Amino acid sequence: MAEVISKTSLFFGGGACVNHHHHHVDDLSVSPVSFGFKKSFSSSLKQKPLRSDFSGKQILETFNRSFRSSSVTAQSTLRIGTAHKWWEKGSQENMREISSAQDLVDSLADAGDKLVVVDFFSPGCGGCKALHPKMCQLAEQSPDVQFLQVNYEEHKSMCYSLGVHVLPFFRFYRGAQGRVCSFSCTNATIKKFRDALAKHSPDRCSLGPTKGLEEKELVALAANKELNFSYTPKVVPVEKEAAIPTANPALPVPHPSMSGSEEKTLVSAGR
């Protein structure tokens, strides 16, 4: 670019020089001494702008052609890269891709009583790609359900901690109940997904705080050094040792001479 600009500047500069020397030649024509080079000098000056003009146009045309070619190549590359993201096509407002383990935990905790469907997929999974249009259709038909997408290729370590080893894979979460079901399905077994959606979608009020991931899953995520996730396990009270049961006065005490079978029959009947 700098070379083109410098050559173009020389061309325009040459034009200015031509005009300047042109006036100078006119001055020489008045002088009594011409040295016999007036005609040849003037003719050479008249030819220089044509050669410079041609050279300048050729350089600029070559530059513009190469620039347009680079632009087309860059735009084509951008379109190809965007076309590969099939999981973003047809996405609804209630569909969102998870960015981290913390994002998944927070999204489940903030859902309240709303049903949340976690969709584990992979860009290279043919079954996931074939199922995606139907997922978008179901999401559109169920605006009150939150669909969270987890890209297996970007979150392999997190999926491993959550025990996800088959794709496509789905987990349903609902309020204080936490995970209500989990399964794998394809286009051929989409009825399994529809049935689960119909079963857990109706409005309901669950008692207690939103559960989200199970305790062991949270601990597994926190123990994974590849994830930027921290969690403090809940303190579980230690149960006291069970006291030795005493004889219930309401139950008949078996006689030592009774057989073992008769004793079992008595205890079962007492319960």
Coil, strand or helix: which one is 184?
Answer: strand
- How far apart, in whole angstroms, are the C-alpha atoms of residue 70 and residue 247? 92
- Which helix (H) or strand (E) segment holds residue 135: the answer is helix 126-141
Q: Which of 125, 136, 181, 185 is catalytic?
A: 125
Active site residue 185: no
DSSP annotation of 165 reads -
Q: Which of 17, 128, 181, 185 is catalytic?
A: 128
| C-alpha dist (Å) from residue 258 to 104, 202, 267, 270 | 62, 57, 13, 16
Active site residue 136: no
| Of residues 58, 59, 50, 42, the one with CA closest to residue 4 | 59
- How far apart, in whole angstroms, are the C-alpha atoms of residue 65 and residue 150? 44
Catalytic residues: 125, 128
